Amino acid sequence: MTESFRRDGEYEQYENPYQGAQQQHASSPVNPEWPPPPAQPPATPPQAPAHAQPAAFASGGAGSYGGDGGGTALLTPAPAEPGAPAPAPRRRTRGPLALLAAVAIVAAAIGGGTAYGIQELTGNDTVASSSTSTNVVPSSAKGTVAGVAKAVSPSIVEINATSNAGESTGSGVIITSDGEIITNNHVISGASTVKVSTSDGKTYTAKVVGTDSKKDLALIKLENASGLTPATLGNSDGVQVGDQVVAIGSPEGLTGTVTSGIVSALNRDVTVATDEGQSQSQGQGGGNGQWPFEFGGQQFNGDTGSSTTTYKAIQTDASLNPGNSGGALIDMNGNIIGINSAMYSATSDSSTAGSAGLGFSIPINTVKSDLATLRAGGTDS
């Protein structure tokens, strides 16, 4: 045995196990590891018989500290010189010290992660991202649609693009504080002017930095913008079917519309048009207000044309409508897990149209892997 235990009855019973020792030695501080030494050391150390078991720091008839009396032998230090003060008892390292050390290590690790998160969020040329699920939503509102909406809405914008083919309305996600925004390629493709409205009502002019029609992604940059709230990009590889999600965008020009649902399926093969002529049918002022796409060998919302691209998508039943394209699909911790890109409507008649609960989002990991290409001008330049 490496630890000693005392049996019931070896000490006088006190509610505080050191109460008796404190009463007997009120003038001496109490070391919680050992009973206190005698008030006056003996002039001559007592000589114990050779066959007797040594006592470990006995105190005024309080009994031995030796456990069960058998097994582990207790060693007594050599007697001190007459008149010399009693040696200070050695303090044994116990669990609390090890626990404190472990806590310090954990705190250091958390501190490092926090510093990394701050760097990610404040760097103008760095995307706020998370390889794990970061809690963007305050703990008091965690897991609620209202909490997600309040935390993430400042990072979602409305995009109005104008071209020779007409006007389109879509959405976008702010990824840097100085105004880099991710959206769909079909929202801004072929546009001569791009205007962006933030959640606080401010309007900016934006320029197209890069486009990737094969992934239906685009990067635009606001002019003279600063102090914006960047979104936290999550990890779409961790998304599971049945996860609750929130969608934020500007369907039919209704800025900051929030809907919710679940992840219905993963890795859906969605085919969309890459032709600029088709891109302007999304949102207000063009075509039937629907972005055409193919799924399962069938075409929806019109003809996709001869120039198409296919990508793996997250399927959701969160309500998506024209104008949601380029907006965010968000997990319940406030992380962006997808960019909404296609939605099915059972009819083109506006009097009976409505969400059918079939929406598709580009996984955010696809977006993150394409950012360097988009910042360099994209694959279409």
Which residues are identified as catalytic? 186, 216, 325
Helices (H), the chain: 19-24, 95-122, 145-152, 185-188, 276-279, 364-375
Counting runs of H as helices and runs of E as strands, what totals does the chain give? 6, 14
Alpha-carbon 47 to chain mean position: 68
Cα–Cα distances (Å) from 13 to 19, 21, 29, 98, 195, in that order, read: 9, 11, 20, 30, 81
* Helix (H) or strand (E) run with residue 269 in it: strand 257-273
- Give the single-character DSSP code of 288: T
The 10 Å Cβ neighbour count of residue 254 is 13
Query: Which token pair is 159?
Result: 């995009």
- The whole-angstrom separation of Cα 232 and Cα 156 is 11
